[in-house]
Structures are given as C-alpha cells and as structure tokens.
A and B are shown apart, each in its own frame.
Chain A
C-alpha cells in the first residue's frame, strides 16, 4: 500500500505570512493528491487537489506543487488569515484501488 509522510506536525505563522506543508509518498503508481482541511470535530474538506500529470495548481491563496521524480508534493497558503487555522491533511491515491492514504496531519495556527 501507499505510505504518506507529512511535515511539519505543527506550524505557527503570523497573520499575513505564508504557510508551507510538505508530503512525500512511496508508491510511484499514485496519481492523485488531494489536500484536506479539518476543523475540530468536523469532516475533512477538500481544499485543493493535483493529478500526476500536472506540476502545479493554484486556487486563490492556495497552491499545490508536485514533484513526481522526488515523490513529494507541497501545500502553500499565502496571506494567511486566522480562519486558516485548522488541521491539514495530505493524501495520495493509487490508480488501481482509489483508496486514500492520509498523512499524519499538520496543525496550523495563524496568530493575529
């Protein structure tokens, strides 16, 4: 199966600064990489995703980059706001079984 590692486990940033979370995966057959935001006691919310045929994707203040050769992908949040405070999970899916393998999560705190 797929193994996804995520760093850092916690991240504290000043409002307005950028936040970067990095993940690595083990199986080169993985081809879909979603990022989820989870607030306490709530369901994970998909915030952005990237497929293996794309190197970068951006949606307003959020961007994701993928390096297939190195098997890592990163989430970038610019101009952070207090409402960005949450736990963020990266995940990867193998093309043949559609099972999500989650990273351990990053608790992001945006200081006002």
Chain B
C-alpha cells in the first residue's frame, strides 16, 4: 500500500498560462502533503506543506500567489502554477504522509515535468 499518483506526468504550456498538477493518495488517507520542486541536476526543494482543510504553509522565497495549493480532501492536493514562465520549468514532486502512519515517512508521487515555452 501507500501509493501516490500525480497527474499529468508531463505538461508543456505557453508562457502566461496556468497549469494545475494533481497529487492523489490512492490507497490511504493523507493528512499532510508536501510539494517539492527539482531543477535539473539539483536536489529536491520543499515549496510548501499542505494540510487537508487548511491553508498551505509556504517555504521562504516561494510565492504563495503564484503557486496555489488546495488540499480539499484527504486524498487530493493540487498545485496550480499561475502565469507560468520559462523559469518555472522544473520537475514537481509531491509526497504524502498517511493518517495513522509514522509522520516522518513520506510517500512520493512519480513527479510532473513542466516545460514552459
């Protein structure tokens, strides 16, 4: 168990458009979901922490109005990149912490590759 999916797996969009990425926990309820961004040949950088039913908390330097996060249910969190620009091109990965499971164990989604032209 503990499968996390992301959709889409890759997306290409024009500069100025918005892109929504979904993160779903398929076989467990996720009390907390995390969103990471990974540029080529770099590490994963935490963008924000998303808790079901409450506002996301963003890491320093991450624009909350640009990266909109919604965690409407215990199995779904969405990240919307608004007015995307080429510098937003990256690999976006979510992870989920399961209700009733060790809180330090994060289950990662397969990632979404975003290319902004």
Of the 9-residue stretches A13-21, A62-70, A100-108, which lies at the interface with chain B?
Answer: A100-108
Q: A93 contacts B43, CB within 8 Å?
A: no
In the complex, chain B residues whose CB is within 8 Å of the CB of A105: 42-43
**B93 touches A (CB below 8 Å):** yes
Smallest CB separation, A52 vs chain B (Å): 11
- The total of interchain contacts (Cβ-Cβ below 8 angstroms) comes to 41
CA distance A105 to B40 in the complex (A): 12
Smallest CB-CB separation from B111: which chain A residue? A43
Smallest CB separation, B50 vs chain A (Å): 12
Interface size class of B (residues with CB under 8 A): 20 to 34
* A-to-B contact residues, CB < 8 Å: 32, 34, 41-46, 89, 93, 98-105
Smallest CB-CB separation from B49: which chain A residue? A99
Smallest CB-CB separation from A100: which chain B residue? B106
Q: B109 contacts A98, CB within 8 Å?
A: no
Q: A98 contacts B97, CB within 8 Å?
A: yes
- Given A42-B111, A43-B108, A43-B110, verify A102-B103 contact (CB < 8 Å): no
CA distance A98 to B49 in the complex (A): 10
The 5 closest A-B pairs by CB, nearest first: A43-B108, A32-B104, A102-B43, A98-B103, A102-B44
CA distance A89 to B91 in the complex (A): 16
In the complex, chain A residues whose CB is within 8 Å of the CB of B105: 46
**B75 touches A (CB below 8 Å):** no
Smallest CB-CB separation from A33: which chain B residue? B104
Beyond known contacts A44-B108, A102-B45: 15 more, CB 8 A cutoff: A41-B111, A43-B109, A43-B110, A46-B105, A89-B43, A89-B44, A93-B104, A98-B103, A98-B104, A99-B49, A100-B46, A100-B95, A102-B43, A104-B43, A105-B42
